[in-house]
Amino acid sequence: MKDILADLSPVQRDAVRQIDGPSLIIAGAGSGKTRVLTYKIAYLMLNDIPPRSVLALTFTNKAAKEMKERIIKVAGKQANKLWMGTFHSIFSRILRTEAETIGFKSNYTIYDTTDSLSIIRGIIKEMNVNDKVYRDRDVYSRISMAKNSLMTPAAYASNAQLANEDIQSHRPKISGIYQRYFMKCRNANAMDFDDLLLYTNILFRDNPDILKKYQQWFKYILVDEYQDTNVAQYLIVKRLAEVSRNITVVGDDAQSIYSFRGARIENILNFRKDYPNYTEYKLEQNYRSTQTIVNAANSLIAKNKKQLKKTCFSEGDVGEKIDIIRAFTDQEEGQLIASMVVDTVYGKQVNYSDIAILYRTNAQSRIFEDSLRRRNIPYRIYGGISFYQRAEIKDALAYMRLAVNPLDDEAMIRVINYPARGIGNSSMDKIQAYALDNNLSLWETVGKLPLTNTGPKDSVNIGVKDSILKKIAEFRELVESFIIKVNTEDAYSFASNIIRQSGMMAELKANRTPEGISRIENIEELLNSIKGYIKNSESSGDSPMIAEYLQNVSLITDMDKDSSKDSNKVTLMTIHSAKGLEFSYIFIVGMEEGLFPGSNSIQSEHSLEEERRLFYVALTRAAVKATISFAQTRYRWGNLGSSTPSRFLRDIDKSYISASSAKSALETREKPQLSNFYKKSEKTDGDHQYKPLKPAMKSQEKVDETAFIPVGTEVEHARFGRGRIVGIDVEGNDVRAKIEFYTAGMKTLILKFAQLEIIENPEK
């Protein structure tokens, strides 16, 4: 016993020693929470607690496996008798035993995501609804959300708010799809992953005797990553712990970043209310990062109001200060980061695999992929696919490919019914069969089809209805209109017109789910890449058409086909994907208002605090050095727009930022250079020119309509009081400021009439 406790710090030992009663272990980033949880379970067993009475819940099978292996080394093979695993695996074991009580057989099947999507696609076909509007993954995500909120189909159907949301997203029949899906699973004696949570709740809710059995069985309950639990998981754990009250939860509210998946930070914040006689332990020593990184992260997260207070520290090296890199454009940002990666690898003598580039949205990967390729830097996309392999990007490129080369059958198969135009699989099978029999391309085949089946005697009849023939003819006319412009429009105009005229953009905009918004962002990024390609080519005297761009893309995507098993690569990933990982050197990119935090987050304090927690997670992935970058101008929908540094950069104590970085990147009031906002002048030589607005006035001076005021500036208004600028728009000759006043709420004011005063020291 003494030996295992000797490996722990004093606070870790205290947390492990507590056997009885509820305990909350607040574990900061890199603080060894897995070690504490592992040793506590081993400690219970070494104190003669039967392993069968211990329930340990994790979020990944990998975590459960690693913990059990460690416990076996400490406490012996009796650890195999532990009830230890993911929420889903443990609840599945319970449901196997109690299946008949809820109308299932014990040999029920568990559907994975692929199975579920296949069933949903079948239902969508049965109900004869548009599968481009009712995308299988979007519908599946909606049903998953309902189940994790413990909503059966009947509850979903009776919820007016959900019904209205579905109507707004042009998918009013989701309730009906959910009902059919639910019944198909039951009739097949099957559950999906979300059902394992839903039915366990139903089992315990409706069967008090069964609940009592498991309450008496599980005397000790331990939960990892408690901040990530959703409603269903929270209620199951709460019910099981009601009798013994011997519950230990481990987590970090500062790393609660999955609300979009249903995770509720309130679960960990309210632990004290649920278990008033709890004992709290704070694991505050970070064993991963330098003192500078830990202290910088502390200064950042301290700005959040909703949190469990802790002060993390490191006894490691002081370490290098954080660099903040200001790029003039998003393209330059990619180039700068690629150069710094090379400098880091050769200057610090480290591997590529010691480095990660973290971004807020998947769409941002494209610029960094391109920049790394140009420098022959090996990389991998973690938790996602290459930008050019994403479905919506491939759809858009397929339209362009078909216009450039109408004989491209694969491109035609991909887009002939996207967006949905009534040319289904049956019709496509007949077109393909005729093409094969007559050694024709699909394009040549549709060119031979008549407008109606009563057409000329020598016309082709493939056995489809007149209404389908009309749709095929309309599609051909659409593509022909693109073909005409292949060699007359520049690549950007051509691509923009295809995305709009094909109906793709309208289709994407109809879907306002997080996945749908991400697809729109990816299309925007594709257009940005084309704009950048044109600009680079024009500097060489060329004016590229779409064919040249597609050739360039095909060369890029060919390089993606890397069959090498070499793992020495720079990692590119979203910050959400990075949670739980660590790297020696981290680059956090795109730190701009409207991007990070996102424009949809700044209206809500709850959302803004989660965005700040996300930045905290990014910063604490670094062990040795963190570098942050932002661009002052970024392409959005092909237009060069100005950007301002993220407000979160000012949340970091300047003492942890390199002096040169702070001066050049953050002190933009004194030296704006490329300002955060621009006025557009006359168009000259085909390019827009921009001039910076003049710097903001000093404190107590009135602000005029041409003033440069960064987003985040504290101001005071004679009527509305104090507030913070959250957005600036230039409309004609007017500069409008969107201001969140602390007492009067959100207001939009024209600066030349507002008579605002800048508050230089808002904390005073």
Does residue 369 contact residue 376 with C-beta atoms inside 8 Å?
Answer: no
Annotated active-site residue 97? The verdict is no
3-state secondary structure at position 257: coil
Query: How many CB atoms lie under 10 A from the CB of residue 330?
Result: 28
Q: Do 59 and 87 form a contact (C-beta atoms < 8 A)? A: yes
Contact 516, 138 (CB under 8 A): yes
- Determine the angle formed by the axes of helices 193-206 and 231-240, rounding to 10 degrees: 40
Task: Count the Cβ atoms, other than its own, within 10 Å of residue 688.
Answer: 12
**Sequence-ordered list of residues with C-beta below 8 angstroms from that of 695, at least 6 positions apart, any chain:** 669, 670, 672, 707, 708
In terms of Cα–Cα distance, which of 494, 492, 475, 474 is closest to 484?
A: 494
What are the structure tokens assigned to 259, written together? 């609300």
Distance from chain centroid for Cα 133: 22
Q: Is 261 an active-site residue?
A: no
Q: How far apart are CA 592 and CA 44, in angstroms?
A: 48
Tokens for 280? 């709290």
CB 121 within 8 A of CB 136: yes
- Catalytic: which of 13, 14, 34, 78? 34
Name the residue type at position 51: P
Q: Is-catalytic flag, 215?
A: no
Give the contacts of 179 (CB within 8 A, at least 6 positions apart): 153, 157
Distance CA 725, CA 763 (A): 16
Q: Which of 86, 229, 255, 644 is catalytic?
A: 255
Given the residues 98, 224, 253, 593, the one annotated as active site:
224
Look up 34 and say whether it is catalytic.
yes
- Choosing from 33, 321, 471, 634, which is the catalytic residue? 33
Q: Which is catalytic among the residues 136, 138, 195, 225? A: 225
In 3-state terms, what secondary structure has residue 264?
coil
One-letter amino acid for residue 93 of the chain:
R
70 is catalytic: no
Cα distance between residue 656 and residue 662, in whole Å: 10
225 given a catalytic annotation: yes
CA of 92: how far to CAs of 320, 404, 726, 756, in Å?
A: 48, 53, 47, 61
- Picking from 425, 576, 399, the residue whose alpha carbon sits closest to that of residue 478 is 399
Q: Vertex 227, ends 223 and 232: CA angle to 5°?
A: 75
103's CB contacts (< 8 A; 6+ apart) are: 186
346 contact partners, CB below 8 Å, separation of at least 6: none
| CB of 201 closer than 8 Å to CB of 232 | yes
Considering 180, 390, 414, 621, which one is annotated as catalytic?
Answer: 621
First to last CA, the chain: 54
- Closest of 195, 95, 104 to residue 144, by C-alpha: 195
Distance, in Å, from the CA atom of 416 to the CA atom of 680, rounded to the nearest integer, reads 41
Q: How far is CA 49 from the centre of its chain?
A: 42
- The Cα 44–Cα 83 span in angstroms is 13
Cα distance between residue 82 and residue 49, in whole Å:
11
Give me the amino acid identity at 399. Y
Q: Please tell me the distance from the alpha carbon of residue 525 to that of residue 366, in angstroms, as a whole number.
A: 8
CA angle (556 as vertex; 552, 558 as ends), nearest 5 = 115
Q: Are 577 and 382 in contact (CB under 8 A)?
A: yes
Residue with tokens 């392409």: 635
Provide the CA 87 distance to its chain's centre, in angstroms.
23
Give the span between the Cα atoms of 181 and 651, in whole angstroms.
47
**String of DSSP letters for 93-154:** HHHHHHGGGGT--TT-EEE-HHHHHHHHHHHHHHTT--TTTS-HHHHHHHHHHHHHTT--HH
**Catalytic residue set:** 33-34, 224-225, 255, 621
